[in-house]
């Protein structure tokens, strides 16, 4: 098919007339459609089975909290051999496990274990700034984000905050080196540019009280806006395909640039409201949220990452956060005090069909009637709890596949978003119940509720707030500014850098 297709492009023919031609629709029906139907059937069977087995919980599987905690805790001491391929993702493994545990309500209270994790992350910090995927490796923005979030989760122990190991001046220099003249970021020296770089750089900088200049921020806003596709979603770079992970990175980065991730005690509401309005004006906000909302699957209730792809539990957070952040933005634009109902976003609401499909009660359109949410929270919780919990602990992306720490982390993060509201979490103490609480599937069983996660940083709101205030108390009100650098390199400079790294 591809050989025949390329021949048409090169020769300029209008039709494919060779014997190699294949009916594309037939391929989609035989492979893509069949796989989609298989996953839907697996989910419907599970919905039906659990509905009969757990009538006391409304037909939804209860959260296997103790099993998930045991699975996550085991990963802090010993990992299976299959994780050897993630040697360059060591801070990520720590973050996935720690965040899963904090959402489940488990805190690291053993001083020896706390110190051990902090020291492990210290060894991953590069002497030139930033964090590496493992000791002795190259600094990279992705593990830098994971390391900073992990340190924020660990917090204070015996009078010392885990974040104190961060070398902020060198981290600021590393971020300056990664930043490109057009406002984009490379993931590492001589590495690729994509929207993940903008998000990870901004999130790590914010929690370490490192700031970019207003001109630098304007350039980054403009670059992110160029990543919006004709579909409405966000791509890794301008002109690429929209993807669920990138829509989170783009939208969350814009919110951080608007000040929505800052300590509300130090950020005037009017200033945040004005910056939020300015940032959102650069993108087609309605189409972006619509694209994300339409990735929630009708039958399964979970999200897929791209158009015509299968459901995957990790997108419960990556895609689900877009709807939560949209509600957060709407509240800021309508009322800086967050005390009024969010306005309707520029997305047409869909009414339930007059006669629902007969396949199952899970075949429904996205959005609860009368809700300002951009997701069906009820369906998302059903998918995570019923289809994604492994019987031995941990979560998986869909029924019939293996569990892992990545999907455990982001499935629980999506569950937290589905169970809690979309206000700016940093503006409310965690001791106060969020208002309004989105409907939990298992309202009669508090044991199935997880703790809230901040939709921008993806750590518990209290931990993000403590990190912001730690630097304020230590460094005062003055942030560390990222200085502009000429990051363009000649080929000779690149080869010299690689030679130094190798030595």
Strand runs (DSSP E) across 69-168, as ranges?
156-157, 160-161
| Residue 432 structure tokens | 């106060």
Cα three-residue angle 289-234-315, rounded to 5 degrees: 70
Integer Cα distance of 116 and 407 in angstroms: 25
DSSP 127: T
Report the candidate in 283, 313, 280, 321 with the shortest Cα–Cα distance to residue 297: 313
End-to-end CA gap in the chain:
46
Integer Cα distance of 100 and 216 in angstroms: 34
130 phi-psi bin (left φ>0, alpha ψ -120 to 50, beta other): left
Report in angstroms the alpha-carbon separations of 279 from 241, 253, 260.
22, 10, 11
CA dihedral 442, 443, 445, 446 (to 10 degrees): 110
Instruction: Tell me phi and psi for residue 270, to 5 degrees.
Output: -65, -40
Please check whether residue 102 is in contact with residue 458, taking contact to mean a CB–CB distance below 8 angstroms: no
Q: Beta partners for 161?
A: 156
Please check whether residue 417 is in contact with residue 324, taking contact to mean a CB–CB distance below 8 angstroms: yes
Please check whether residue 206 is in contact with residue 212, taking contact to mean a CB–CB distance below 8 angstroms: no
Integer Cα distance of 124 and 96 in angstroms: 16
Instruction: Tell me phi and psi for residue 293, to 5 degrees.
Output: -60, -35
Instruction: Tell me phi and psi for residue 311, to 5 degrees.
Output: -60, 145
Integer Cα distance of 389 and 67 in angstroms: 10
Integer Cα distance of 255 and 237 in angstroms: 19
Hunting for tokens 């980054």 — which residue is that? 220
| Residue 2 structure tokens | 């591809």
List active site positions: 243, 306, 309, 312, 314-315, 397, 404, 407
Q: How far is C-alpha 100 from the chain's CA centre?
A: 14
In this structure, the number of other CB atoms found within 10 A of the CB of residue 385 comes to 24
Which helix (H) or strand (E) covers residue 481, if one does? strand 480-481
| Residue 69 structure tokens | 């905690």
């Amino acid at each position: 098919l591809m050989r025949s297709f390329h021949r048409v492009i090169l020769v300029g023919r209008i039709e494919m007339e060779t014997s190699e031609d294949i009916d594309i629709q037939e391929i989609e029906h035989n492979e893509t459609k069949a796989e989609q139907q298989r996953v839907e059937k697996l989910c419907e069977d599970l919905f039906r089975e659990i509905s009969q087995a757990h009538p006391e919980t409304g037909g939804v599987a209860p959260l296997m909290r103790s099993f998930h905690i045991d699975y996550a805790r085991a990963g802090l001491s010993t990992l299976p051999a299959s994780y050897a391929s993630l040697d360059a993702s060591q801070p990520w493994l720590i973050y996935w496990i720690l965040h899963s545990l904090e959402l489940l309500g488990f805190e690291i209270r053993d001083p020896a274990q706390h110190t051990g994790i902090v020291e492990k992350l210290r060894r991953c910090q590069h002497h030139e700034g930033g964090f590496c995927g493992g000791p002795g490796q190259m600094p990279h923005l992705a593990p830098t984000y994971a390391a900073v979030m992990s340190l924020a989760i660990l917090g204070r122990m015996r009078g010392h905050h885990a974040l104190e190991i961060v070398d902020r001046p060198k981290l600021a220099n590393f971020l300056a080196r990664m930043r490109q003249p057009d406002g984009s970021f490379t993931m590492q020296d001589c590495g690729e540019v994509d929207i993940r770089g903008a998000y990870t750089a901004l999130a790590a900088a914010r929690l370490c009280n490192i700031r970019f200049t207003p001109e630098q921020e304007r350039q980054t806003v403009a670059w992110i806006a160029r990543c919006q596709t004709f579909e409405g979603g966000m791509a890794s770079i301008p002109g690429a395909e929209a993807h669920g992970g990138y829509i989170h990175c783009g939208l969350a980065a814009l919110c951080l640039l608007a000040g929505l991730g800052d300590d509300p005690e130090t950020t005037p509401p009017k200033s945040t409201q004005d910056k939020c309005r300015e940032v959102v004006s650069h993108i087609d906000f309605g189409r972006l949220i619509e694209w994300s909302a339409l990735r929630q699957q009708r039958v399964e209730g979970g999200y897929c990452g791209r158009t015509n792809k299968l459901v995957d539990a990790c997108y419960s957070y990556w895609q689900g956060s877009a709807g939560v952040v949209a509600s957060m933005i709407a509240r800021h634009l309508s009322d800086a005090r967050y005390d009024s109902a969010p306005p309707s976003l520029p997305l047409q609401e869909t009414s339930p069909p007059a006669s629902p499909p007969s396949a199952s009660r899970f075949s429904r359109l996205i959005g609860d009637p009368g809700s300002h949410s951009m997701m069906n929270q009820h369906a998302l919780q059903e998918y995570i709890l019923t289809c994604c919990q492994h019987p031995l602990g941990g979560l998986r992306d869909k029924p019939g596949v293996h569990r892992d720490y990545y999907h455990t982390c982001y499935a629980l993060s999506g569950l937290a978003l589905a169970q809690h509201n979309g206000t700016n979490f940093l503006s409310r103490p965690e001791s106060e119940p969020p208002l309004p609480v989105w409907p939990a599937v298992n309202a009669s069983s508090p044991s199935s509720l997880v703790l809230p996660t901040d939709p921008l940083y993806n750590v518990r709101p209290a931990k993000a707030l403590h990190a912001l205030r730690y630097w304020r108390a230590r460094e005062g009100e003055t942030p560390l500014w990222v200085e502009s650098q000429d990051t363009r390199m000649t080929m000779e400079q690149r080869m010299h850098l690689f030679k130094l790294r190798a030595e």
